[in-house]
Amino acid sequence: MATLRELTHREDRLEGGHRLCAGCGASIAVRQILLGAGEDPVIAGCATSCLEVSTSLYPYSSWKVPFIHSAFENSSVTIAGVEAAFNGLKRAGKIPADKKIKFVAFGGDGGTYDIGLQALSGTMERGHDMVYVCYDNGAYMNTGIQRSSATPRGAWATTAEVGSAQQGKTEKRKDLTSIIAAHGVPYVAQASISHWKDLTTKAEKAFAVEGSAFLNVLATCPRGWRSAYNKAVEHAKLGVQTGYWPLFEVENGEWSLSSPSKALVKTGLKPVEEFLKPQGRFRHLLKPENAELLAEVQADVDAYWKYLLGRCGE
Amino acid sequence: MPVKHTTVATTGNSMVADAMRQCAPDVVAAYPITPQTTIVEEFARYVAQGRVHTEYVTTESEHSAMSACIGASAAGARVITATCGPGLAMMWEMLYIASGMRLPIVMLNTNRTLSAPINIHCDHSDVMGARDAGWILLFAETAQEAYDNTIMSVRIAEDPDVLLPVMSCLDGFITTHSIGRAQTMDDESVKSFVGDYTPQNALLDVENPVSHGNFVFLGGPYIEFKRSQRIAMDRSKSVIERVGAEFSELSGRPFSLVETDMMEDAEVAIVVMGSSAGNVRHVARQMRAEGVKAGLVKVRCFRPFPATELVAALSGLKAVAVLDRSESFGAEGGPLFTETRSALYDLERRIPIVNYIYGLGGSDVRLDLIKSVFTDLSDIAGGGVVPEGLNYLGAR
């Protein structure tokens, strides 16, 4: 695995000067993941999203690698098509048989958990040799903070409002990482922008395996989280420390907690409140009258943690 | 090397699958749907037998099939796919993206109607829903034409003056599943006719990175991009004619955007697309035996719309009927009718023109129905009243 010194000497494949907000977790995720691809050429795709509209504004492109965007629900299968072309052209003798190219598709949680789930499932099932990255900021941030199936229970969103009859999203979030793991692909991992070594190492592994790999990366959205833009990494770290976003991987069916989360088995998780507190989208949850709802959010985290420890044999 | 023709008795889908094999696509990404299935099944056999180098991607939906085709085509591959009806409808979003990104994808469409009620049989509702999606649209009357159109489509789409996707349509079940006599050409002749594909701005050219599918903000050159598609579509007309002429020389079979039969001295004619042209031709001959100077005008290319050619074919007539195998609910008539009538608008003399909706959901296109249309035309030509509104042919 690459050292920090080595990583600092690798070329940044997403150029600065893009139009993402200050403190946006998406560009941090993309840059760290592309560092994990090493020296091999990479072709990247992206679903319609903040990331896409902010990095591909015609006639500019922030991508120093070949890049394709086609629509919202299909970055997985669009890149699968690119990978298919690579195989077909190799077989035709138009590309040398020993040529190596890495393929990666990015999507937000809306484009992955919701509208893109079918295309992603098909892509993973067929086993295209590529990496799919979901940058999960827990809502449709690009269109204005609407709830997605990645939005946690109790979070305010513009389609899960807070009022006298409702206190934000009433359902718990979907466990997409387990769903993709159930596809039996060789590498699946959950990571966070707050743990660069864990993330770049997971990206290296994802790019290295033959077949499909999936990374689900917690990426702060200060605009949608209603949080301080200069604390983006810190807030993601709280997601890990409270067990809201455990770091783990599934390598060829073997589940294991990654070291930042594994350490929490002994020390215990921080209360989820610490993750919620700095985020305006949870402000209502901390009111005394919502104590019961807050307990439910904590119960969601505890249940998932328990499930995960079981899967990881802890 | 002279072309070696082989006469076969087979279905339209089988002819098309064979043409696909001969065009040697680098990628086929497709999803099965009746009555397209036998195309993808037959192609899967070619893959299993190692007869093609194609990377065959069996997607989980048509939306993903077209998405994979878009990725593969942008990557620099020759790409062919097939679908129909609800499958084409499901692709709708991606059809515009394929043409907007100027990707020369070829798609076979085995014309099937759209639900509801659910029905798997032929009409042109599927492709007519996509008529403004920026694809070149070719229609086949027979399995032979479906084969020929497939091969020509590859050349047309990939022409540097065009770079637009092409949809090659054959009528579901009628053409796709009926066994008839047809001729294939030898592999080598097809290979040299379609030639090698040299992609532009390929993603796989990693030394020269490009971005595809960029975002054009309000105030950006969106309308200019659309105009460039319009220019390419207009330009494609002469390319289609040139490719068609070249192919005709090779195949010995005629091709034009608008094909006419018995039109030299015709007084009345039916304008039609697809398999029903055969019925019209047959009945026109019968009508001639009865003294009616009847003719057939078959539209083989709907996009770009061959307005000039239609005007040339129809301008001397006393009455014209347009048969539409799809509805355009609330419009002045079916799509072929409204565009044909619009094409005739600038003529000095107004030609009586009537519209018939027929054959929806595979409803039978009986010869007596076609005969009733010619009889109507004959009445109109003799000074009879032009029926108002549109007519549902054969509806009980």
Q: Domain limits at A129?
A: 4-311
Contact present, B296 and B277 (Cβ < 8 Å): yes
pLDDT the model gives residue A4: 87
Residues B215, A80: C-beta atoms closer than 8 Å: no
For chain B, the domain total comes to: 2
The pairing of beta strand B166-171 with beta strand B136-139: parallel
Among B230, B251, B272, where does a domain finish?
A: B251
Contact A194, A237 (CB under 8 A): yes
Residues B181, B297, single domain; the answer is no
Counting one residue from chain A and one from chain B, the pairs whose CB atoms sit within 8 A come to 166
Tell whether B183 and B106 lie within a shared domain.
yes
The interface predicted TM-score of the complex, written ipTM, equals 0.97
Supply the pLDDT for residue B387.
Answer: 81
Q: With DSSP H G I counted as helix, E B as strand and the rest as coil, what are the percentages for chain A, rounded to 5?
A: 45, 15, 40
* Polymer length in residues for chain B: 396
Cβ of B61 within 8 Å of Cβ of A119? The answer is yes
Amino acid at B183: Q
Considering only CB atoms, which chain A residues are within 8 Å of B213?
56, 68-70
Model pLDDT, residue B390: 85
pLDDT over 80 at B389, yes or no: no
Which chain B residues contact residue A66 at CB under 8 A? 203-206, 209-211
Kindly report the nearest CA distance between residue B211 and chain A, in angstroms.
5
Contact B203 A122 (CB under 8 A): no
**B positions 195-234 inside 8 Å of A (CB):** 203-206, 209-217, 220-221
Task: Determine the pLDDT at residue A48.
Answer: 98
pLDDT of the residue at B309: 98
Cα–Cα distance measured from residue B329 to residue B334, given in angstroms and rounded to the nearest whole number? 8
For residues B241 and B331, give the distance between their C-alpha atoms in angstroms, rounded to a whole number: 31
Other Cβ atoms less than 10 A from the Cβ of A175: the count is 17
pLDDT at B388 over 90: no
Q: Do A56 and B97 touch (CB under 8 A)?
A: no
Residue B142 to residue B133: CA distance in whole angstroms: 25
Mean pLDDT, range A283-304, rounded to an integer: 98
> From residue A177, how far is each of A97, A116, A187, B276 by CA, in Å?
33, 14, 11, 53
**How much is the pLDDT for B64?**
98
Q: Which residues of B touch A124 (CB under 8 A)?
A: none
Rounded to a whole number of angstroms, the distance from the CA of B55 to the nearest CA of chain A is 5
Q: Residue B278: give the domain boundaries.
A: 259-392
User: Best of A15, A52, A74 to disrupt the B interface by mutation (most B CBs within 10 Å)?
Assistant: A74
Same domain (yes/no): B171, B302: no
DSSP A140: B
For A233, the enclosing helix (H) or strand (E) is helix A232-241
Q: How far is CA B337 from CA B141, B170, B281, B310, B312, in A?
A: 18, 20, 19, 12, 16
Of A76-85, B293-302, B384-393, minimum mean pLDDT range: B384-393
For residues B115-130, average pLDDT: 98
Packing angle of the helix pair A117-126, B62-75 (nearest 10 deg): 70
Number of other residues whose CB lies within 10 A of the CB of residue B12: 32
Span A21-43, pLDDT tens digits: 999 999 999 999 999 998 999 99
Q: Answer yes or no: is pLDDT of A1 > 90.
A: no
Distance of alpha carbon B63 from its chain centroid, rounded? Answer: 20
Domain boundary among B215, B232, B251: B251
Task: Check: CB of residue A124 under 8 Å from CB of residue A183.
Answer: yes
What is the percent of chain A where pLDDT is above 70? 100
Residue B386 pLDDT more than 90? no
Q: How far apart are CA A128 and CA A122, in angstroms?
A: 10
Whether residue B304 sits in one domain with residue B226: no
B142 and B189 belong to one structural domain: yes
- Specify the length of chain A in residues: 314
Q: What is the CATH number of the domain that holds B180?
A: 3.40.50.970
C-alpha span between B288 and B263 (Å, rounded):
12
User: Cβ contacts (< 8 Å) between B25 and chain A: which residues?
Assistant: 88
Question: Could you read off the pLDDT of A138-179 as tens digits, one per residue?
Answer: 999 999 999 999 999 999 999 999 999 999 999 999 999 999
Residue owning tokens 């009889």: B375
Please state, in angstroms and as integers, the Cα–Cα distance from residue B133 to each residue in A121, B88, B192, B333, following that order: 28, 11, 30, 20
Cα distance between residue B163 and residue A74, in whole Å: 23
Q: What is the largest CA-CA distance in chain A?
A: 68
Query: Chain A contact for B277, CB < 8 A?
Result: no
% of chain B at pLDDT higher than 70: 100
Number of domains composing chain A: 1
State yes or no: pLDDT of B228 exceeds 80. yes
DSSP state letters, B134-197: S-EEEE-SSHHHHHHHHHHHHHHHH-TTT---EEEEEETTTTTT-EEEEEEE-HHHHHHHH---
Q: Closest chain A residue to B103 measured between Cα atoms?
A: A70
CB contact under 8 A, B203 and A66: yes
Cβ count near A188 (within 10 Å): 30
Task: Based on the fold, state whether residues B189 and B336 are members of the same structural domain.
Answer: no
- What is the domain-level CATH number for residue A257? 3.40.50.970
- Kindly report whether the peptide bond that precedes residue B116 is cis, defined as omega within 30 degrees of 0: yes
Same-domain check for residues B246 and B321: no
Distance CA A141, CA A155 (A): 13
Residue B396's CB is within 10 A of a number of other CB atoms, namely 4
Report the pLDDT value the prediction gives residue A21, as an integer from 0 to 100: 97
Same domain? B38 vs B126: yes
What value does the mean pLDDT of chain B take?
A: 97
- Quote the CA–CA distance of A146 and B140 in Å, as a whole number: 47
How much is the average pLDDT of B344-366? 96
CA dist A102 and A106 (Å) reads: 13
Q: Does B68 touch chain A (CB under 8 A)?
A: yes
For B76, which of A57, A65, A85 is closest by C-beta distance? A85
CB count, 10 Å around CB of B41? Answer: 13
A208-234, pLDDT tens digit by residue? 999 999 999 999 999 999 999 999 999
Å between A161 CA and nearest CA of chain B: 30
Q: How far apart (Å, rounded) are the C-alpha atoms in residues B60 and A282?
A: 38
Q: Tell me, rounded to whole angstroms, the distance of Cα B71 from its chain centroid.
A: 24
- Would you call B203 and A43 a contact, using CB atoms and an 8 Å cutoff? yes
Query: Which of helix, strand or coil describes residue B84?
Result: coil
> pLDDT of A256-292, one tens digit each?
999 999 999 999 999 999 999 999 999 999 999 999 9
Chain A residue with minimum CA distance to B77? A85
Q: B1 pLDDT exceeds 80?
A: no
Contact A82 B75 (CB under 8 A): yes
Give the pLDDT confidence of A86-115 residue by residue, as tens digits: 999 999 999 999 999 999 999 999 999 999
CA A54 to chain CA mean position, Å: 18
Q: Which amino acid is at B17?
A: A
Tokens of A106: 């990015």
CATH number of B289's domain: 3.40.50.920
Q: Which of B207, B224, B251 is the last residue before a domain boundary?
A: B251
Question: How many Cα atoms occupy the beta-carbon half-sphere of A60 within 13 Å?
Answer: 13
Domain match, B246 and B104 both: yes
Query: How many other CB atoms are found less than 10 A from the CB of residue B285?
Result: 13
CA A243, CA A268: separation in Å to the nearest integer?
9
Residue A87's pLDDT is what?
Answer: 98
Based on C-alpha coordinates, what's the Rg of chain A?
A: 19
Q: Given an 8 Å threshold on Cβ–Cβ distance, is B209 in contact with A118?
A: no
